[in-house]
Structure 1
Amino acid sequence: MKDSKEYIEVYGAREHNLKNINVKIPRNELVVITGLSGSGKSSLAFDTIFAEGQRRYIETFSAYARQFLGGLERPDVDKIDGLSPVIAIEQKTTSKNPRSTVGTVTELYDFLRLLFARVSDAYSLTSGKKLVSYTEEQILHAIQNNYKNEKVMLLAPVVRSRKGHYHELFVQMAKKGYGQARIDGEIRELEYNLKLDRYKTHDIDIVIDRWIIGEASSESRMEKSLSTALQMGDGIIGIQKLDSDHIEYFSRNLMDAESGHSLALPEPNTFSFNSPKGSCFYCKGLGTVKKVNTDYFVENPKLSINQGGLLPLEDIKSNKWILSQSKNILEIFGLSLSTPMKDIPKEALDYIYNGCHKEFNKDLKYAGVNKKIKISFDGLVPMINELIDDKDSYDAVLLERHFTTEENCPECKGTRLQPSSLSFKIADKNIAEVSAMSLSDFMVWLVEIEDQFSNKNKIIAHEILKELRTRLQFLLDVGLEYLSLSRSTRTLSGGESQRIRLATQIGSQLVNVLYILDEPSIGLHQRDNERLINSLKNLRDIGNSVLVVEHDKDMILEANEVLDVGPRAGKFGGEVLWQGKPADLLKADTITADYLTGKR
């Protein structure tokens, strides 16, 4: 007989409909609790065993910490012995956080970001050419080889496509001894009164030096000037032949020598939509934006604006200005605020919704004159957008809830990332394209790309790829090959969320833990169910106890031990009718046994 330490022993469980039951559950085995719905399975597994495990865990915290966590009531049970640390994996949505994806909750995206930061290649956003980076020594050798015996000018780019008059910059450069700059493609003297049009965008390169490449006396001078130019140009310099307008750029960062497009060397945060370094500037890494939908403005077209027919006005407290402008617009069309919404023409509604800045002629028949009316109204939609941007406003909450829809971000197209983050590719795919693959295709990609790496990159990527494949295989083993890393966790079913947590727990390689699962087989194809059972066995075999509330026949028959709870639901249940090996259950006189043998 097994020692008592090898069991989880429950004495006097009376939670909900449990009838003062005593039960011994073997540790380090796969145990299924089955029975009719409402018979008390979850009351035993979750509301008694898990609740007590959670209570004991919180009891280990200091009194100071417990006051923030809140106390957990002791379940209605006399005693539970042999209880390990407990983790419950229930069927509920993983997270309502809009930033949470399959990739982030499984940490696969973290390793993918690391992979792209270490072995990806960068490509120009403008030309599509591969970007290259140089050391200072390489830049010097390239200049000497490419421009032998040529007269060239060394440039340090200091302004790129920015507005301003830059008077202070020119004065500062002149004081340092620089006499010329290439401004918008033209070489100009750095005079004291030099100012540019502040409302136009400009490109400015400071002329650092002029060389005749190949002269022995200029070698040391070139090195000094090059170092100065790289420092001033933030790691970028340009070389222009004196008899040409063409500039070739060199950079310590990644750069397109033709266009001058430059990127900083990537870091893991470059690919994070939760970091300012990687997230889309427009949607802030959410991948979606809220857009005002005018289809929601009118619910009952028979009502007029005065009768509340234009719904947003009901949620905007300070709507008198909007009403007065709407009245003016309607009067131009011979209508009023009492006109039913269905009788207002599209043009008038467009002015009210999207704004009107026009001058109209209006006949005042009673006065026999023609009067000009000037309307300057931004429109209801822009005003709602402005109010929604004010997150602290109560109006904003109501307006966003009632009159907006969620759409893909028009800038990042739902990828959540900046264009520069998408410039880095592995095997012709950027990180957003890889994240959009199904997990099964992602595994194929991970296997194939290693053959395309250089020997150096193979060494760098080896451990990262190994971790990615291992974690990914756990997800495939629980039947989630159709998901993608970019899938928002808000769109997952309870079963999918549960299996993701199960795969994560298997990957964590924890031991001596009691895992409690709630019907993990729901919605699974037969093939996937077999893989799920194998995953639970894997969890058991590494040194854990697995307790599953389940109705599935295959799961019951594959268990080490079965508890049959019943006999009926509600107050007619709450008893352990039978406990033992699955093969012996087939001979028992219970509803579950009849179901397994096909008698019912």
Structure 2
Amino acid sequence: VYDYLRLFFARAGRPHCPVCHEPIARQTPQQIVDRLLEMPEGTRFQVLAPMIRGRKGEYTELFRQLQQDGYSRTIVDGEVHLLADEPYKLAKQKKHTIDVVVDRLQVKASMHQRLTESVETALGLADGLVIADFVDLPDDDQHRTRRFSEKLACPNDHPLAIDELEPRSFSFNAPFGACPECHGLGTRMEVDPELVVPDPSKSLAEGAIQAWSYNQVSEYFLRIMEALADDLGFDINTPYGDLTDDVQRILMHGQPDKVHVSYKNRYGRTRSYYTAFEGAIAFLERRHAETESDTNRERLEGFMREVPCGECGGSRLKPVIRAVLINHPTLGPKNIAEVSNLSIREAAEYLADLELSDRERQIGERVLKEIHERLRFLLDVGLDYLSLDRAAGSLSGGEAQRIRLATQIGAGLVGVLYVLDEPSIGLHQRDNHRLIETLVRLRDLGNTLIVVEHDEDTIRASDWVVDIGPGAGEHGGNVIVSGSVDELL
């Protein structure tokens, strides 16, 4: 089902900015021109090419090149600058916004050709972006400017790393869609303070911080903790659990101030140095990220627990992909991860009544039909309670067998012999008739089914029954009945 969901979201999903949640879309030059010509006749506006957006620099060479190319005006940080004037000096270390005035126009029917050329010029200058600045509106009016883009771009200028949406964009197994934090796993290893300090009744000197102790406390870490104790005013012989919350926090997470470590070497000479105290958790995270040894990694992970990724919340997808939504008129918008998190019954109900444009419906109709077919097969075998993102390893034997059964129905094979071992195991009695209907449908396609089963309803629905007994195990093994259900009864 997920493969078809990926295809559907790639074709009919509506991208949004993951920061401001505004819709993002692309438009052709002709669509942009048509939108501008819809304005009331006589409306005055400027066609702007947004060249620089919040970047540092003097941009002397840019101004020189624009003047050579025949442009006469720019808008720099909200102020009009005539390129023919003396060279414009910008503060090198400040961020600037620079728009090039490509044309100044007034809406009327005869301007179509000129507007088209101006829009195409602006799109070429600004890498697919163009702004219409309606000069008669106040500067603080939210409708003063309208932004258009040939590419997928945020209307509020938030940077986006999004290309043409494809099915692979929604795959957490590919770099195109995988969360950059957990690399598509949905979980990450996180240091657990309770594993770092398993016995709070021990003192630091006795090895309370397990990560810094093997058979005894590492001399290196003991020196640093003694220096920290001198700075913060605590005793390393105090049980860890009796230390203040602030001291425990610093021991776990470190502090920005360096500590002064003083010790005697093996020759009896005093040595001292200043060093940062990074804390046990930061130390373990750094070592885990840096190590190339499987043995070391395994030892370090002994102080960690697997937790949902904080970036993607376990969805395994990057933010810009999670912001591609489809909408339901009453249940609201959802991304592909949220749809996958629904139960099979909930997903079928959600996808049955989507709010789609005519174009989206035309594109996605066939894909939706395939999705509904597969969901119906899963519903028919009594798996309506499973979520679409359920891990395969967490399925019971009966659930896995019924999923394979639904797959076979969808494949539409004929002339196949199926052997099923108690497919009704774990199935509620109210759903048993749907499973039997599925088995009958598979038979009616032209297949043969051998079902090992003790369920009475399934036996009664059979065309032929072989009863082996009379007892179980060594007390059985004999064919008692081989014939119709009536012969068994």
TM-score (normalizing by structure 2): 0.78
CA distance in 2, matches of 1:585, 1:373: 94
Match of 1:139 among 27, 32, 43: 32
Give the Å deviation of 1:241.
4.1
Q: Provide Cα deviations, 1:74-106, integer angstroms capped at 9, x if missing partner.
A: xxxxxxxxxxxxxxxxxxxxxxxxxxxxxxxxx
CA distance in 1, matches of 2:110, 2:11: 41
Opposite residue 437 of structure 1, the aligned amino acid is L
Judged with a 3 Å threshold, the aligned counterparts in structure 2 of structure 1 residues 303 and 126 are, in CA distance, closer, same or farther, namely closer
Are the aligned partners of 1:147 and 1:213 in contact in 2 as well (CA < 8 Å)?
A: no
Give the Å deviation of 1:115.
2.4
Query: Equivalent residue of 2:188, what SS?
Result: strand
Are the aligned partners of 1:439 and 1:483 in contact in 2 as well (CA < 8 Å)?
A: yes
Within 5 A, what are the aligned runs for 1:308-319?
A: 308-313=207-212
What's the counterpart of residue 394 of structure 2?
491
Opposite residue 39 of structure 2, the aligned amino acid is N
Match of 2:280 among 380, 390, 413: 380
Judged with a 3 Å threshold, the aligned counterparts in structure 2 of structure 1 residues 560 and 214 are, in CA distance, closer, same or farther, namely closer
Q: Percent identity?
A: 34
Higher RCO, 1 or 2 (CA under 8 Å, sep at least 6)? 1
Opposite residue 168 of structure 2, the aligned amino acid is N
Are the aligned partners of 2:260 and 2:275 in contact in 1 as well (CA < 8 Å)?
A: no
Match of 1:282 among 157, 160, 181: 181
Query: Equivalent residue of 1:559, what SS?
Result: coil
1:429 aligns with 2:429: no
Within 5 A, what are the aligned runs for 1:411-422?
A: 411-421=311-321, 422=323
Query: What number of residue pairs does the alignment pair up?
Result: 465
Give the Å deviation of 1:237.
0.6
Judged with a 3 Å threshold, the aligned counterparts in structure 2 of structure 1 residues 327 and 159 are, in CA distance, closer, same or farther, namely farther
Query: Equivalent residue of 1:520, what SS?
Result: coil
CA distance in 1, matches of 2:53, 2:299: 40
Judged with a 3 Å threshold, the aligned counterparts in structure 2 of structure 1 residues 129 and 355 are, in CA distance, closer, same or farther, namely closer
CA distance in 2, matches of 1:259, 1:575: 76
Opposite residue 327 of structure 2, the aligned amino acid is I
Q: Provide Cα deviations, 1:185-235, integer angstroms capped at 9, x if missing partner.
A: 4555785975632xx7x4644405132335999765543332122133332
Judged with a 3 Å threshold, the aligned counterparts in structure 2 of structure 1 residues 492 and 205 are, in CA distance, closer, same or farther, namely farther
> Which range moves more in the overlay, 121-130 or 407-416?
121-130
Match of 1:170 among 31, 38, 62: 62
Opposite residue 438 of structure 1, the aligned amino acid is S
Match of 2:425 among 522, 545, 555: 522
Q: Provide Cα deviations, 1:358-417, integer angstroms capped at 9, x if missing partner.
A: 36799xxxxxxxxx9966211121222222334633355325642223333333333333
Opposite residue 100 of structure 2, the aligned amino acid is V
Are the aligned partners of 2:13 and 2:324 in contact in 1 as well (CA < 8 Å)?
A: no
Query: Equivalent residue of 1:154, what SS?
Result: strand
Give the Å deviation of 1:353.
1.0
> Which range moves more in the overlay, 391-400 or 215-224?
215-224
1:583 aligns with 2:488: no
> Which range moves more in the overlay, 319-328 or 456-465?
319-328
Give the Å deviation of 1:355.
0.4
Opposite residue 281 of structure 1, the aligned amino acid is P
CA distance in 2, matches of 1:316, 1:167: 63
Query: Equivalent residue of 2:352, what SS?
Result: helix
Opposite residue 252 of structure 1, the aligned amino acid is E
Query: Equivalent residue of 1:382, what SS?
Result: helix
What's the counterpart of residue 248 of structure 1?
146
1:533 aligns with 2:436: yes
Gaps (5+ residues) in structure 1?
Answer: 1-107, 363-371, 588-600
What's the counterpart of residue 346 of structure 1?
245
Are the aligned partners of 2:184 and 2:317 in contact in 1 as well (CA < 8 Å)?
A: yes
Judged with a 3 Å threshold, the aligned counterparts in structure 2 of structure 1 residues 529 and 150 are, in CA distance, closer, same or farther, namely closer
Are the aligned partners of 2:224 and 2:259 in contact in 1 as well (CA < 8 Å)?
A: no
CA distance in 2, matches of 1:347, 1:260: 38
Gaps (5+ residues) in structure 2?
Answer: 262-271
Judged with a 3 Å threshold, the aligned counterparts in structure 2 of structure 1 residues 556 and 216 are, in CA distance, closer, same or farther, namely closer
Give the Å deviation of 1:477.
0.8
> Which range moves more in the overlay, 526-535 or 416-425?
416-425
Give the Å deviation of 1:423.
4.0
Q: Provide Cα deviations, 1:543-600, integer angstroms capped at 9, x if missing partner.
A: 3333334343433443334445567777x3784544513636746xxxxxxxxxxxxx
Give the Å deviation of 1:472.
0.6
Opposite residue 225 of structure 2, the aligned amino acid is S
What's the counterpart of residue 12 of structure 1?
none
Opposite residue 196 of structure 1, the aligned amino acid is K
Judged with a 3 Å threshold, the aligned counterparts in structure 2 of structure 1 residues 146 and 401 are, in CA distance, closer, same or farther, namely same
Within 5 A, what are the aligned runs for 1:451-462?
A: 452-462=355-365
1:441 aligns with 2:346: yes
Judged with a 3 Å threshold, the aligned counterparts in structure 2 of structure 1 residues 413 and 166 are, in CA distance, closer, same or farther, namely farther
Q: Provide Cα deviations, 1:314-365, integer angstroms capped at 9, x if missing partner.
A: 58999665443233224444423x5544444433322221002336799xxx
Q: Provide Cα deviations, 1:464-515, integer angstroms capped at 9, x if missing partner.
A: 2221111111100111111222333343333323322221222122233333
Q: Provide Cα deviations, 1:35-92, integer angstroms capped at 9, x if missing partner.
A: xxxxxxxxxxxxxxxxxxxxxxxxxxxxxxxxxxxxxxxxxxxxxxxxxxxxxxxxxx
Give the Å deviation of 1:527.
1.5
Query: Equivalent residue of 1:502, what SS?
Result: helix
Are the aligned partners of 2:462 and 2:485 in contact in 1 as well (CA < 8 Å)?
A: no
What's the counterpart of residue 453 of structure 2?
550
CA distance in 1, matches of 2:215, 2:179: 31
CA distance in 1, matches of 2:291, 2:481: 57
TM-score (normalizing by structure 1): 0.65
Judged with a 3 Å threshold, the aligned counterparts in structure 2 of structure 1 residues 544 and 125 are, in CA distance, closer, same or farther, namely same
What's the counterpart of residue 269 of structure 1?
168
Opposite residue 139 of structure 1, the aligned amino acid is I
What's the counterpart of residue 325 of structure 1?
224
1:119 aligns with 2:12: yes
What's the counterpart of residue 196 of structure 1?
92
Query: Equivalent residue of 1:448, what SS?
Result: coil
Opposite residue 135 of structure 1, the aligned amino acid is T
CA distance in 2, matches of 1:473, 1:203: 56
Are the aligned partners of 1:278 and 1:418 in contact in 2 as well (CA < 8 Å)?
A: yes
Query: Equivalent residue of 2:307, what SS?
Result: strand
Opposite residue 356 of structure 1, the aligned amino acid is Q
Query: Equivalent residue of 1:420, what SS?
Result: helix
